[in-house]
Amino acid sequence: MCAIILENVCKRYGGKAVLDGLCCRFPLGEATCVMGPSGCGKTTLLSLLMGLEQPDSGRIRGLAGLRKSAIFQEDRLVETSGAVANLRLANPRLSRQRAEEPLCALGLGDSLGQPVGSFSGGMKRRVAILRALHAGYDILFADEPFKGLDSATKQLTMEYFRKNIQGRTVVLVTHEEAEREFFGGRAVRLEKL
């Protein structure tokens, strides 16, 4: 199979439809941006694709056997550990040096001896992004990964991200057309029900 395919997928919460008859494709080996207004089901769609929730009806094909990695809206880091340890939790085969390199590339080299609980929000966000990128995955899910980064840090992080997802399957939630264009322009657009 060369794509992840959703066929008439429906998801309701408390009787309210969030996704209703959704049909779409996510080509393997490409980045696809999921776009739409707040409350249209973007995060719900990611939860279904990650297997954290099940559709009420319809089916999702093409995910069996794929190793998944994710960048959630919350950073979900081990706050008492350092940045290197957080990366190595997701990929124990990553040597300390190989973990330090991307952290330094994104401007975190001066903070490697500190627990991530002492980091600013933007620093934590970069660690969360790097942890997901270096986890060893077949498909990466990213829910508004660059939100909260200042413009210079965002540009640096997006460039690093784009370089490291070349030829990989990525599902990226974003509100920004500029991000869609930066990552290649392919989009799945959701409407609020």
Separation of alpha carbons 114 and 142, rounded Å = 26
Give residue 1's pLDDT band: very low, low, confident or very high (50, 70, 90): low
Quote the CA–CA distance of 73 and 181 in Å, as a whole number: 21
pLDDT over 70 at 24, yes or no: yes
Which tokens go with 136? 């060893």
Q: Which fold has domain 27-53+66-185?
A: Rossmann fold (3.40.50)
Q: Predicted confidence band at 193 (pLDDT cuts at 50, 70, 90)?
A: confident
Domains of the chain, by residue range, sit at: 27-53+66-185
Could you give the percent of the chain with pLDDT greater than 70? 99
Span 4-10, average pLDDT: 98
Q: What is the pLDDT of residue 184?
A: 86
30-89 pLDDT per residue, tens: 999 999 999 999 999 999 999 999 999 999 999 999 999 999 999 999 999 999 999 999
Q: Report percent pLDDT > 90 for the chain.
A: 95
User: Over the stretch 92-138, which tens digit does the pLDDT of each residue have?
Assistant: 999 999 999 999 999 999 999 999 999 999 999 999 999 999 999 99
pTM given for the model: 0.95
Alpha carbon distances (Å) from 13 to 10, 45, 55, 72, 104: 10, 13, 11, 20, 42
